[in-house]
Structure 1
Amino acid sequence: MVTISGRSNPAWVGLVLAQPWVMPLARLALVSAYLIGGIDKVLHFNDAISEQAHFGLHPAALWAVLAIAVEIFGSLCVIFRRFTWFGAGGLGVLTVVAMLVANDFWNHIGAARFMALNSFFEHLGLIAALVLATVLSDSQHEI
């Protein structure tokens, strides 16, 4: 068993986590939806504006530019462990806004409520993962 901070993990888990590619890949996976979303918004800017308008965010072009900047720059901060607190914080705030405007389960009924509720809490879990990435970025160990 591998023991870290009084917690025990099976030795094979420690071996997998010790591989130099695991944590960079985990950081990339964590922010992949944001990075791809930001790039897609750049490539289809008019659609990005329409998306913001659809959710009632005005001026829509300004919100689209802000979303692109946060999604791309924030993702790069997390991936490269530079200003992780800033990048993850920006992505977290963007996610809260998205949760409130796009996953407003309290305004739906039936299947639409079910889907919005699930998405709301999936996004909440993503925010928690961004918090953990920020905390771990301050650790002495490579994450």
Structure 2
Amino acid sequence: MFARVVFTFVFWGAGLGKIADYRGTLAEMAAFGLTPPSLWAPAVIATLLIASALIILNRFAWLGCGMLAVFVALTIPIAHPFWAFPEPEATHHFHVFGEHVTVIGALMVAAILCHRLEQERR
């Protein structure tokens, strides 16, 4: 379980941070063109926290991994469209894109491992 807590830290930590600075979260949603921010902010927070909990508890962890993989994939065109930035900003966003692809791969591996662990428990 400890490994799953650490693995999901970036997600549940972000979710808690968005709750702690809710005004900032609303501003962030607006800055990325997600309107109305009052709809998107709770959806983002819920996604981050619920998906993390599913993984940590290894209950429908495949679903939590899938939720976070889709979330990470969607942040690329919304927050890191490297193709739309001039250099050197484009390079920075391209590196973030690469990191996001790696995280998606890690979530796929986690889904497989959590599923195997669940099967062994039965």
TM-score by length of 1: 0.78
Rounded Cα–Cα distance in structure 1 between residues aligned with 2:66 and 2:80: 20
For 2:76, the equivalent position in structure 1 comes to 99
The letter for the 2-side match of 1:54 is: A
Amino acid aligned to 2:20: L
Instruction: Specify which of 136, 139, 142 is matched with residue 113 of structure 2.
Output: 136
**Structure 2 Cα separation of the partners of residues 93 and 43 of structure 1:** 24
Whichever structure has more strand as a proportion of its residues is: 1
Q: With a CA cutoff of 8 Å and minimum separation of 6, indicate the structure with the bigger relative contact order.
A: 2
The residue correspondences of 1:30-41 to structure 2 (distance < 5 A) are 30-41=7-18
1:69 shift after superposition: 0.2
CA RMSD of aligned residues (A): 1.4
CA offsets 1:46-97 (integer angstroms, 9 cap, x no match): 1111101111111111111011001111111111111112211111111111
Give the number of aligned pairs: 119
Instruction: Flag structure 2 segments of 5+ consecutive residues without an equivalent.
Output: none
Of 36, 55, 65, the residue aligned with 1:88 is 65
Matched, 1:72 2:49: yes
Secondary structure of 2:108's partner? helix
More helix by share: 2
Structure 2 match to 1:121: 98
Runs of 4+ deviating beyond 3 Å: none
Bigger radius of gyration, 1 or 2?
1
TM-score, with length taken from structure 2: 0.90
